[in-house]
Amino acid sequence: MSASDDSSLFANTKRFRAAVALFNGLDGAKFPLVLARILGGLGGAKGERVFSEAEEAQLRELLGLDEAALADLLGACAFVFEQAAYGPTAPERLRVELAGAGVEGAPADAFAAVWQEEGAAFVARLKERAVLAPQHLQAVDWQLCVRTADSCGGRAQQPHCVLQLDLRAPAPAASADDGAGDAHVLMQLGVPELERLLHKLDAVQGQLDAVQGS
């Protein structure tokens, strides 16, 4: 990996390259509206969806995407904005970074324009939710679930994953109760949420690789 790759905002992963192809294939007139809605909904209450199930169905029809492709798109857009907030990143730099990753002019400009308008509010929301005393991850357990739902006489499978995170907060040195700070967090993640998590993990891995290789 070159020095320029180490300092880039977006890791050159297979998942992000697939996201770039999605960005470049969208209608240039519709994409900015979708981006504005995504950024406006990020950084809110934990577990809150940016789009309802009905709105996602409308988006699939509007953008000509199937369920998996829409989940990839929404997760990738959120990932781009979250990466921009990490710096934080100026709109022009975001445009340049996206162009360097292969995003074409229209979608790169759309990201930059929406970030110019809404980026500061998003960063402020993230700061409000900042955790000052992070807990340590002790273990992870998961279960894949598939439920069926009736709609007009039909049945559709709706897979989701349940994650259990076992957390422990650092206990004071004088405390004799080693488990006083234990917590167990259960999360139900559908396809869009899992895609967003994978994008974030890709970003973390890329940053760790950059630090270890420097």
Domains held by the chain: number:
2
Q: Do 124 and 72 share a domain, yes or no?
A: yes
pLDDT confidence of residue 136: 76
**Domain limits at 177?**
136-213
Ordered per-residue pLDDT tens for the chain, 214 residues: 333 344 678 888 888 999 999 999 988 788 999 999 999 888 766 556 788 889 999 999 988 899 999 999 999 999 999 999 987 799 999 999 999 999 999 999 999 999 999 999 998 888 877 644 467 788 888 888 876 655 555 556 678 888 888 887 665 444 444 555 578 888 888 888 888 888 888 877 776 776 555 4
Per-residue confidence (pLDDT) for residue 6, from 0 to 100: 46
**Which residues, 6+ apart, have CB-to-CB distance to 138 below 8 Å?**
166, 167, 168, 182
Q: Assess contact for 88 and 34: CB atoms under 8 A.
A: no
Q: Are residues 203 and 110 in the same domain?
A: no
Domain end, chosen from 91, 110, 128, is at: 128
**pLDDT at position 2, please?**
36
For residue 114, what pLDDT is reported?
Answer: 96
48 and 66 in a single domain? The answer is: yes
Residues 89 and 175 occupy one common structural domain: no
Closest by CA to 30, choosing from 84, 73, 89, 85, is: 73
**Same-domain status, 147 and 88:** no
Residue 77's Cβ-count burial label (10 Å; 0-12, 13-18, 19+) is buried
Look at residues 46, 125, 28 and name the one whose alpha carbon lies nearest to residue 81.
Answer: 125
Among 95, 128, 161, residue at a domain's last position: 128
Strands (E), 3-117: none
What is the four-CA torsion angle of 5, 10, 15, 21, rounded to 10 degrees?
A: -100
pLDDT at 10: 87
Instruction: Report the pLDDT value the prediction gives residue 13, as an integer from 0 to 100.
Output: 87
